[in-house]
Structures are given as structure tokens and as C-alpha cells.
């Protein structure tokens, strides 16, 4: 049975449970080797499966990065964020596991494994995916439809978060002093992580914007939980937004990442708006 036959017979593809999504998020945040292996492979797979819609840097438009364009609509597709979207990764793993179980092979499991074993397991998952990639990444594929739906929701949430952040920043620093950079495919956003620029007393500050669940103080550090794609950004500030109304800004000079979680020195907290 190939993946197309499986999709015809299989239970409808659906988004993952919250618990499963959080497990994928934890995997990406704590094992960068796993994430990097997945990221590199996914971008090559997208280039293979959407060759007629794939453009190299600056080919589609000046300043636009390489990727898939004109898929769900005109412009850069949200599918390009599949390489870091843990919710979509969870769907992909879940549906591949249904297929593996159907053909009598061991499912892909990352939990209760060492970091090295997780890398080996990711390599196995990508080997399976490469075998069925043209079936999975087909416009008729139920798995692909679910992935696109999940990523559309994520993209909408991200845009609303950034909109709310920009609105608050403009109230604090003035309309003329705040410039939003983040957009699908923007080179500056993708290469350096700059979502917004703020002029403060004549000095330009760059910032990365992320959602968060809660922030706690422990001794001389603030711990920020509930954010994804945890890595060091080349920005002056890190801005965290919750429920579109609770915003905290940290200086990014001495940021630490421990077990996939951001930590900031007490004196790094600049604003709470």
C-alpha cells in the first residue's frame, strides 16, 4: 500500500491534540539538532514537491527569500514555515505514524529518548517522508489540507499579535517612531529576526516579537514560558505578548536559553505595557 491508497482508506486527517502539540514544541525547543535536521530536509522536500512554484532568493520579487509562492493565493505561501511550525509537524508525524502502523512498521516516537536517539528517529521520519513526499504534499492530500489549515491559523494569530504589539508601541513611542518589518518572506525578518524597529531618543532599537504563556521571577532572573522556536535572536529587544493586551519588553543583551526556555536578568526588563 502506498500513501495515496492509505489516504483514500484512512481516517480523515485532523489537527493534533494540545498535549501532542506541546510535546512537539518541547522537542523543537530543547533539541536544536533535531530541529535543524528537520528544517533543512523540509525545505528541500518543498523545493522538490512544489518545483513549479518554488523561487530562489530575489527571483519572485526583490528582497524576497527563497521558497514556495502562489500556492494558497498570490505571494509567499505559509507552507514555507512548515520547517519550524510544531503544530504542523505534529500533524505530519501523526499521519505518517498512521501509515506506518497500517503497513506494519514501527511508529515514529521521540518521547523518552536521549537527544542522540531523537536525532536518529528524526532521520528515520524524514526517510519515510521522502518516500511518500509527492503523495503527502499534493493539493488533494488530506494531510496537506490539514497542515495548511493549521498553519493558516498560526499565521493569523502571529499577525494579530504583531498588530497589537505595534499599536502599543506607537502609543508609547509615537506613530512615527515605530516601523513594522515582519512579513512573509521579508529578508530582514528571516535573517536577523527583526519584526519591528523603534526609535527611542534618536536611537534605533530592533525587536523580535513572540507570544508567551506566563513569566515568573526566580532569584535574579525572569523565566518566560510558553513560547516557540526558542533561539538567540540578533535584536536589541525581545517583546513578549499575551492575549493581545499584556506586553513585556526585555533587553536582549544577556539573554540565556536553558532547556528550551528564555531567561532574562532582572535589570533586562525595560517596559510592561
pLDDT tens across 33-47, in order? 999 999 999 999 999
List the domain boundaries for the chain. Answer: 3-153, 158-272
Q: What is the value of pTM for the model shown?
A: 0.83
**Cβ atoms < 10 Å from Cβ of 252:** 22
- Identify any residues that bridge with 196 across adjacent strands, giving them in sequence order: 180, 207
Contact between residue 126 and residue 110 where contact means Cβ atoms under 8 Å apart:
no
Q: Dihedral sign, CA of 149, 152, 157, 158?
A: positive
Residue 76 has a CB neighbour count (10 Å cut-off) of: 22
pLDDT, one tens digit per residue, over 205-226 is 999 999 999 999 988 999 999 9
pLDDT digits 0-9 by tens, 17-27:
999 999 999 99
Does the structural domain 158-272 have CATH classification 3.30.70? Answer: no
pLDDT in tens, the chain (273 residues): 566 565 555 557 889 999 999 999 999 999 999 999 999 999 999 999 999 999 998 898 887 889 999 998 888 899 999 999 999 999 999 999 999 999 999 999 999 999 999 999 999 999 999 999 999 999 999 999 999 999 988 888 888 888 899 999 999 999 999 999 865 444 444 556 899 999 999 999 999 999 999 999 988 999 999 998 899 999 999 999 998 778 999 999 999 999 999 999 999 999 998
Q: Do residues 209 and 241 make contact, with C-beta atoms less than 8 angstroms apart?
A: yes
pLDDT at 156: 81
- The closest alpha carbon to 242, from 200, 218, 272, 197, belongs to 272
Amino acid at each position: 500500500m502506498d500513501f495515496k491508497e492509505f489516504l483514500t482508506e484512512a481516517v480523515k486527517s485532523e489537527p493534533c491534540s494540545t498535549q501532542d502539540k506541546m510535546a512537539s514544541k518541547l522537542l523543537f525547543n530543547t533539541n536544536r539538532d533535531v530541529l535543524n535536521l528537520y528544517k533543512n530536509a523540509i525545505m528541500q522536500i518543498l523545493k522538490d514537491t512544489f518545483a513549479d512554484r518554488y523561487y530562489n532568493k530575489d527571483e519572485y520579487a526583490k528582497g524576497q527569500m527563497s521558497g514556495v509562492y502562489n500556492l494558497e493565493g498570490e505571494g509567499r505561501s505559509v507552507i514555507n514555515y512548515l520547517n519550524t511550525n510544531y503544530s504542523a509537524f505534529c500533524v505530519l508525524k501523526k499521519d505518517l505514524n498512521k501509515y506506518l502502523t497500517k503497513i506494519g512498521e514501527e511508529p515514529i516516537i521521540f518521547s523518552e529518548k536521549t537527544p542522540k536517539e531523537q536525532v536518529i528517529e528524526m532521520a528515520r521520519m524524514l526517510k519515510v517522508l521522502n518516500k511518500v513526499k509527492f503523495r503527502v504534499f499534493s493539493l488533494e492530500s488530506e494531510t496537506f489540507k490539514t497542515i495548511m489549515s493549521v498553519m493558516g491559523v498560526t499565521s493569523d494569530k502571529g499577525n494579530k499579535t504583531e498588530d497589537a504589539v505595534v499599536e502599543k508601541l506607537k502609543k508609547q513611542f509615537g506613530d512615527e517612531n515605530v516601523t513594522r518589518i515582519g512579513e512573509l518572506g521579508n529578508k530582514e525578518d528571516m535573517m536577523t529576526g527583526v519584526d519591528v524597529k523603534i526609535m527611542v531618543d534618536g536611537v534605533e532599537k530592533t525587536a523580535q516579537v513572540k507570544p508567551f504563556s506566563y513569566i515568573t521571577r526566580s532569584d535574579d532572573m525572569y523565566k518566560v514560558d510558553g513560547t516557540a522556536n526558542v533561539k538567540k535572536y540578533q535584536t536589541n529587544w525581545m517583546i513578549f505578548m499575551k492575549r493581545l493586551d499584556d506586553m513585556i519588553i526585555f533587553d536582549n543583551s544577556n539573554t540565556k536559553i536553558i532547556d528550551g526556555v528564555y531567561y532574562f536578568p532582572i535589570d533586562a526588563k525595560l517596559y510592561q505595557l
